[in-house]
Amino acid sequence: MYSLIYLSITPYFLHMDFYKKITYYEKKMGKKLSIFGNIKASHENHENWEPLWKNATPKKTYDFIIIGGGGHGLATAYYLSRIHKSSNIAVIEKGWLGGGGTGRNTSIIRSNYLWDESAHLYDFSLKLYETLSQDLNFNTMVSQRGVLNLAHNLSDVRGAKRRLYANQLNGIDSEWLDTEGVKKYCPIINTSPDARYPVLGSTLQRRGGVARHDAVAWGYARAASDAGVDIIQHCEVTDIHVSNNKVVGVETTQGRINAKRVGIAVAGYASNVAKMAGFELPIATHPLQAYVSEPVKPILDCVVMSGAVHVYLSQTDKGELVMGAGVDKYIGYGQRGSFNVIEEQLSACMQLFPLFSRMRVMRTWAGMVDTCPDASPIVGKTPVDGLYINCGWGTGGFKSTPGSGWVFAHTMFNDAPHDLNKAFSLERFYSGALIDEHGAAAVAH
Amino acid sequence: MIKQKFRQTAGGVINREKSISFTFNNKRLYGYDGDTLASALLANGIHLVSRSFKTHRARGIMSAGTEEAGAIVQISKNTPKSQPNMRATEVLIYDGLAAQSVNAWPSVKFDIASINKLFSKYLFAGFYYKTFMWPKSFWKLLYEPMIRQMGGLGKCDIINDDREYERNNDFFDLVIIGAGKAGLEYAEQFLRTHKTKDHSIFDKQSTNDTTLKILLVDENPLLYLNKERIQKLGKEINVLTHTTVFGYYDNNYLCAVEHVNSSKIDQRIWHITAKQVVLATGAIERPFVFKNNDLPGIMLANSVQTYISRFGVRCGKDAVVFTNNDSAYQVAFDMKAAGINVKAIIDIRKTSPFEGRTDIPIFTQSVILEAQGKNHIKSVTVSQIKSDEQSVYRVKQIISCDLLAVSSGWTPSVHLHSQAGGKLSFDDDKACFVPTTTEQNNVSIGACNGDFSFDISSISKKWEIENGIGKSSYVDFLEDVSALDIRIAAKEGMSSVELLKRYTTVGMGVDQGKTSNVNAIGILANALDKPIDLVGTTRFRAPYTCVNFGALAGKELGDLLDPVRTTPIHDWHVDHGAVFEDVGQWKRPWYFPRTHESMQETLNRECLAVRTSVGMMDASTLGKIDIQGKDSGKFLDLIYTNMFSSLKVGSVKYGLMCHEDGMIFDDGVTAKIAENHYYMTTTTGGAANVLDWMEYWLQTEYPDWEVYLTSITEQYCAIAVSGPHVKKVMKHVFPEESFSNESFTFMTSKDILLNGINIRVLRISFTGELAFELHVPSYHGKEIWEQVYQAGKPYAITPYGTETMHILRAEKGFIIAGQETDGSVTPLDLDMNWIVSKKKDFLGKRSFLRKDTSRKNRKKLVGIITKDPKVVLPEGAQLVKDPHGSIPVNMEGHVTSSYYSATLKRSIALALINGGLENKGKTLYAPIEGSIIPVEVTSPVFYDPKGDRQHAE
């Protein structure tokens, strides 16, 4: 069918008048990215492309500095400027944009979390994802192809249903599929009752899916840069200047930069940066690996996650199977993991998808996950005035990116948390008001 | 047999005695034993193998090794051995091999989707990100499905893989990777100077084992290597051929895949730990980037030579050679000697050292501007470059040819060096990245270290011939990335090589950029006007070549994925018709249905039997930990919330454990067997965690305490016998013992000798009835179980499973750790204040003082009864005050356990709700799938609230 559509539109593309019309529409679109711009650029031999974001050199003073040019940091800058109409904002990145968790995750988005606090924050994020391509005028390829969380034993079923009922009352779409339902929804899953871990059922969030992770960082960077945010790459923060318990600026490899408010969004390095300002975080950073197979024609049309066998996988638009492995148990900042973790996970994967035995691992990589004792993030104020922290997303960082940026921008702008991140304060580790997603998170990704 | 048009009459290592028949795109072809699919196709004059990823351009065989980026095939389609995305160069042919082109329909020669070529103008880097956004709904309905349909190369057949894989582990003192010139010489030299007996260089500590273990490994089959020399070496050292080392991890830990190709095992994964690693992995030739450089018939120069020398195959009749260095000249001479008409050597450099030394016309200071042809190269356009080294003269010459051998330089295979943490720098003279420092105990030698066997120093650092915008000048054949794409990305600010990779996908294809990465970096460096060294490379990651999921999974499949644990009484349960449930790795009897009995009927019968007569349950899966040492009591006081050090010998106590946050994570009973000797039981699922937890505290915080922990879960069976008639049954089993309340009081234990078997009997109750638990050495478990069963027959003793156990304990309001608790529940939340010691410190205690943990309105344990006694709530149901509240609805808590109780003739449930029993008598609602179930909050103890029954005489 697609070939037919394709053939029928071809002649238009090849017609010269069409190019003239395109030029007209392209002008009407202004700076916006569109098919018209693409076609025009092609006819202009691509000579006029501009940087997606400007590479800024630091000014002396900013109202807001965000340390960390990953998805969260860039989203924060974007919303500070767009929602809160702030100007004079800088994002400082020590390497290249989106080079941490943003570019290393398995790109799953979903919001079917158990606890109200998590559910509301992640669902807000998912809603922002649903219109992100249009909002940013950059195709982030948000693909709501459905997320299955499989249950393999009675305890899994109990936990899954508890989460399902809570999701429904929180307004998060969630359905229960029995074994046959799973087979129907994703026919290639092995649902044999004789399997070592038989599939007893699954929750399904149809709004869940995947997005193109790098594009999320680039889209935010471009939109933020267009709005006047200074994006400063290859600039490492080496110290945070505090005077009378108030942040006054940061020391960087490009010199000192003053700021009224500073937000830390550096994921795996959060503890190190916090230390510069003189406070500690209950964060442990672990290596986490992921890998892709060679690209094949469409074979898996949804995201499948299983806690008991620790598998989570999906197929990209390019055709690769993307799979996440388990966390390496030791603490490390090396962005490299152990091979046995991948082997063990593939053994488990063979149980669910015996046909994938013929698939081949093409590339493996590792990132860092910064995790809190309760497997929930910290987004809020710090013991230092004007200094804010956003970290501890563990394996939930990518799916929360838009929501995290939104509430962090709110927190930095108002010097007070948004309703959605109130509960995720650093203070909860003193009060004991933990949001423990361990118990119910099935597999936390 | 059909004549192989391009096969020479002699030469090569193939076995010409043995003809092999195979099919390509359903056409029967012949090759020889020892051929790769690529060499056999070339022998038959076939270059065009597949269609490219995005633009569906014709792609052919461009190399002779793992760097192949053109010829991708599907093997054994629609059979269990089906394998997508194989490179024709890595497949050895065998009788019956069936290979097919990928990404082509209806045929590779006439491919409908090659219409994409017309669009290719619009399919540039970042193109996707800038469109398909409008209208929004079209993304899901049209754009994305269309893109997905176009993505991918081969097909993953929906049929299970029947090949066998296995795994092997080994240690070596020295591993030499690569049995080419450098590797072989190194191995031979090493043996000459050191001999395997001499181990002094390795500082070996063991004096018993005097032979050095050395391994030589190469990715090629033995046939393609220097057979005599390797076989000679093989007498003294280990040799693995057709084995690719694909991963180099910390501590000189290597992962390799051996292509066994035996009838039993297809591939074998090796985990190798080496003291010293020598990398002799060679180098890969680079293609030129020029217009239409991807046409079939354009090949890496050295591969043309390989096809001649190894397979006796000529890759064409009329050839042109295009080079910027000396290495391709020998290829040209070999081609000529093999009968290929070499029409010209095009050399970018101002002068060629070979001028006047050959009768092949040499065009110095010249380039190929473009290649012509549709499905195969027909001709090339040659022009001279001006002295600025950029622009070309107007005068062009077209040379017709059917083969173009290219060499734009060499890229050392530094993958393993780099994976191991080694650094690289760009060597300007050699125009390649070479290893500098290493992080681990390894050394690179030969070509992979930039030490080539030919003089590379005169290389020209030009590998792109600019001609137009570079749309059809391909850098990465597999990902369809052109020079233009790289320049667009550079313009758009993708200034880091990592960003370039992600934006253009260069180097992200099946070959992981073996032939494209350096060219891409060079073009990016030019576009950014930066030295190549500053642009750098992307990080090298395992695997070097693609490895089957199945091979990595190895034998850990099915039941071997995770051991199934069964109790010594398991067979009895099977014989008696038990239905099992999975609890962790264990299979536990869930219930014992009789013929024609529904599950609920079974549960009713089992429950009533325990309440009115006697029942028995296999509790062997409980974790059991033997605790000894003079600080055991003190240690248990730390671990449990209640006091154990003051326990009398022979007494038993129930205990709760909390993590530091004050939240319950396990429970169980512990008996004091003797002074400084305890016997702990844990939950079935928690056994390992509890042992880890205790070891963690002993080893990290209290290493000076004398406590010894031993897991004895597998060493003991536990048989729970429960019900009003239990004492009569016990008396029958142990005629010598008295079970009166006086001589065997509640919460005590006794070791009783029965026929020489020491049985530890605990008088404890999880059902609320009179009950005993018999802990029997595993070997005798089934025997004692049988004895109890026989002794109970007069009372119709009833075996019951976990579900009945759950119901019975819920009737009594007893919790199950992991069901009533979820990591957010304190002992106080369960109103178990009585078990929290005020006299001593214990893990988690301080957290009880925290603001939120000591808050009033926390979620606490209650009983729940439905207004309609017949309705059984689903476990996990959320409870609300306002059943018609708008979403999001405030939830009061959730149902943790829910059952139909035959004893009470109604449904019962336990729940954790805000404020707990303060809500007693209040009505809440459970909204379930559109219906609303009204419930009432009650005490969690539904049966025998005073607890008299367990104390009955």
Distance CA B137, CA B114 (A): 28
Query: So what's the architecture of B856-953 in CATH?
Result: Beta Barrel (2.40)
The DSSP code sequence of B760-812 is EEE---SSSSSEEEEEEEGGGHHHHHHHHHHHHGGGT-EE--HHHHHHHHHHT
The mean pLDDT value for B628-636 works out to 98
What is the CATH T-level fold of the domain A61-107+213-280+374-431, as seen in this structure? FAD/NAD(P)-binding domain (3.50.50)
CB contact under 8 A, B153 and A319: yes
Residue A444's pLDDT band, with cuts at 50, 70 and 90, is very low
Q: For the residues of B833-846, what is the DSSP string, one character each? A: GGGS-SSS--TTGG
Residue A67 burial by CB count (10 A; 0-12/13-18/19+): exposed, middle or buried? buried
Judging contacts by C-beta atoms under 8 Å, the chain A residues touching residue B148 are 298, 317, 319
A373 exposure class (CB count in 10 Å sphere: 0-12, 13-18, 19+): middle
Question: What does the pLDDT read at residue B108?
Answer: 87
The arithmetic mean of pLDDT across residues B511-528, rounded, is 94
Mean pLDDT on B43-47: 97
- Provide φ and ψ at B574, rounded to 5°: -60, -45
- Phi and psi dihedrals of B445, rounded to 5? -130, 160
What tens digit of pLDDT does each residue of B104-134 get? 888 888 888 887 777 777 788 888 888 888 7
The answer to whether B496 and B490 have CB atoms below 8 angstroms apart is no
β-bridge mates for residue B668, sequence order: B655
Per-residue confidence band for A442, with pLDDT thresholds at 50, 70 and 90:
very low
Residue that is written with structure tokens 């015996």 in the block = A354
φ, ψ for residue B324 (rounded to 5)? -125, 15
Q: Are B687 and B710 in contact (CB under 8 A)?
A: no
Q: Which residue is listed with tokens 């964060």?
A: A283
Sequence ranges of the domains in chain A: 2-43, 61-107+213-280+374-431, 108-212+285-371
Q: Which CATH number fits the domain B15-119, given the four candidates 1.10.3720.10, 3.10.20.440, 3.90.1170.50, 1.20.1420.20?
A: 3.10.20.440
State pLDDT tens for residues B939-952.
999 999 999 999 98
Could you tell me how many residues make up chain A?
A: 445
Chain B: nearest CA to A378, how far in angstroms? 17
A34 at interface of B, judged by CB pairs closer than 8 A: yes
| Alpha carbon distance B403, A150 (integer Å) | 54
Q: Any residues with CB less than 8 A from the CB of A352 and at least 6 apart, and which?
A: A150, A189, A190, A195, A199, A304, A306, A309, A311
Residue B116 or B305, more confident: B305
B726: confidence class by pLDDT, cuts 50, 70, 90:
very high
Q: Nearest-CA neighbor of B237 among B196, B268, B200, B273?
A: B196
Beta-bridge partners for A311: A306
User: For residue A287, which of A322, A336, A339 has the smallest C-alpha distance?
Assistant: A336
Q: What is the mean pLDDT of residues B606-631?
A: 98
Confidence band (pLDDT; 50, 70, 90) for B769? very high
CB contact under 8 A, B822 and A37: no
- In a 3-state reduction of DSSP, which class is residue A349? helix
What digits encode the pLDDT tens for the residues B364-381? 999 999 999 999 999 999
Measured between alpha carbons, how far is B835 from B828 in angstroms, rounded to an integer?
Answer: 9
B874 contacts on A by Cβ (under 8 Å)? 161, 165
Chain B partners of A141 at a C-beta cutoff of 8 Å? 128, 139, 144
Tokens for A129, please give them: 């994802």
Six-digit token string for B705: 């305490």
The predicted model gives B260-268 an average pLDDT of 88
Report the amino acid identity of residue B445: I
Give the Cα separation of A36 and B732 in Å (integer).
91
Quick check: B56 and B32 in contact, CB under 8 A? no
CATH architecture of B290-408: 3-Layer(bba) Sandwich (3.50)
Is residue B850 within 8 A of residue A430, CB to CB? The reply is: yes
Among candidates A46, A48, A70, A66, which has minimal Cα distance to A58? A66
Contact assignment for B549 to A137 by CB distance below 8 Å: no
CA–CA distance, A75 with A221 (Å, rounded to integer): 8
- How many whole angstroms separate alpha carbon B644 and alpha carbon B637? 6
* Mean pLDDT in residue range B440-461: 95
Tokens of residue B675, six digits:
């002074």
Alpha-carbon span B46 to B36, nearest angstrom: 13
Q: How far apart are CA B771 and CA B746, in angstroms?
A: 9
**CATH architecture assignment, domain B570-621+715-809:** 2-Layer Sandwich (3.30)
One DSSP character per residue, B681-750 reads EE-TTTHHHHHHHHHHIIIII-TTS--EEEE-TTTEEEEEEESTTHHHHHHHH-TT---STTTS-TTBEE
CA atoms lying within 13 Å on the CB side of residue A55: 16
- Residue A55: its chain B contacts at CB < 8 A? 493, 495
Closest-CA distance, A411 to chain B, in angstroms, reads 23
The domain spans of chain B are: 15-119, 290-408, 570-621+715-809, 623-711, 856-953
| pLDDT tens per residue, range B146-184 | 888 888 999 999 999 999 999 999 999 999 999 999 999
Name the more confident of B257 and B2.
B257
Tokens of B397: 């010459």
Query: What's the angle, vertex CA B688, arms to CA B685 and CA B689, rounded to 5?
Result: 85
In whole angstroms, what separates CA B95 from the centre of its chain?
33
Name the closest residue on chain A to residue B511, using Cα atoms: A362
Going by CATH, does the domain composed of A108-212+285-371 fall within 3.30.9.10? yes
A418 burial level (CB within 10 Å; 0-12, 13-18, 19+): buried
Distances (CA, A) of A356 to A66, B438, B798: 43, 36, 46
Question: Number of helices and strands (H, E) in chain B?
Answer: 21, 48
Distance (Å) from the alpha carbon of A5 to chain B's nearest alpha carbon: 10
Q: What's the CATH class of domain B623-711?
A: alpha beta
Count of beta carbons in the 10 Å neighbourhood of residue B221: 16
**Which residues does chain B have within 8 Å of residue A212's beta carbon, measured at their own beta carbons?**
128-129
A427 touches chain B (CB under 8 A): no
Interchain CB distance below 8 Å, A317 and B82: no
Q: Which residue of B54, B129, B251 to mutate against A (max A Cβ within 10 Å)?
A: B129
> Which span out of B462-471, B786-795, B923-932 was modeled with the highest average pLDDT?
B786-795
Chain B residues touching residue A120 (CB < 8 angstroms): 888
pLDDT band at residue B202 using 50, 70 and 90 as cut-offs: low
